[in-house]
Amino acid sequence: MQLNDSSLPAGLSVAPDEIARFSALADRWWDPSGPMRPLHAMNGLRIDWARRHLPPPRDDAGRLRQVLDIGCGAGLASEGLARLGYDVLGLDAAAAAISAGRMHVERNPLPPGSGPLSYRVGSAEDLQAEGARFDAITALEVIEHVTDPAAFLRLLSGMLRPGGTLIVSTMNRSLRALATAKIGAEYILRLLPPGTHEWRKFITPVELGGLAGQAGLRVSDIAGMVPGLRGWRESHDLGVNYIACMVAD
């Protein structure tokens, strides 16, 4: 499904061409050998890292903590977070991707002990206008696709409850990332469709820390994510892929 520019709400944090690109991939989002196979490969690491940095699924009063998975696509991370027991809302502006996420969980129900999982087509601005607040937000491989990263982080920060947690994963704007995550992955190995990423929109860890501070967030931890023979693993190497935890002060 392709989305026309006229169907997109004003002030959308993601560019229309990005939405159309990911909408076109929706039918194969859950195919582990398809165009989203790098996300499938790293998803276990992302979810385990989130598990260690998010507060427990229930607060002291027994209330389920609410997590927003923004830019969720068809829900790879959303399902993983729900399996941990959180009350998860997966939000994406690509309607076809949300449809694929809903269909996948209908066909593959979450196991007992999972938290509620719901999906919604829309933008962060939609939720902001409604006054929505969350205990935690995840933005995984999203910030490099938004039109204004600084405004995006301010928007997410404003939707966190006091003391809330934001987890962001993205790619470093390094020459090594250009060679591997852009040229290598898209044009040589064909792990991703050509044009998936724009290297100039990658964000260095230092830049991310500065943007976080401007948004009233404090980076509490950061780690590299590197591929290996036994799957992706956490690393001190931030040169290409990395993940960061931020806390609302």
- Do 148 and 211 meet the contact criterion of CB atoms below 8 Å apart? no
* AA letter at 70: I
- Do 76 and 57 meet the contact criterion of CB atoms below 8 Å apart? no
φ/ψ (deg, to 5) at 87? -90, 105
Is 140 annotated as ligand-binding? yes
Is 27 annotated as ligand-binding? no
- Do 231 and 45 meet the contact criterion of CB atoms below 8 Å apart? yes
DSSP 8-state assignment for residue 64? B
Take residue 142 and report the two structure tokens written for it: 């999203």
Nearby residues of 153 by Cβ (< 8 Å), 6 or more positions away: 143, 166, 211, 212, 214, 215, 217
Taking each continuous run of H as one helix and of E as one strand, the counts in the chain are 8, 8
Is 46 annotated as ligand-binding? yes
Distance CA 89, CA 66 (A): 8
Neighbours of 125 (CB within 10 A): 16
**In the chain, what is the greatest distance between 2 CA atoms, to the nearest angstrom?**
52
Is 208 annotated as ligand-binding? no
Of 221, 106, 215, which is closest to residue 167 (Cα–Cα)?
221
Residues of the binding site: 46, 71, 92, 140
Residues of the binding site for S-adenosyl-L-methionine: 46, 71, 92, 140
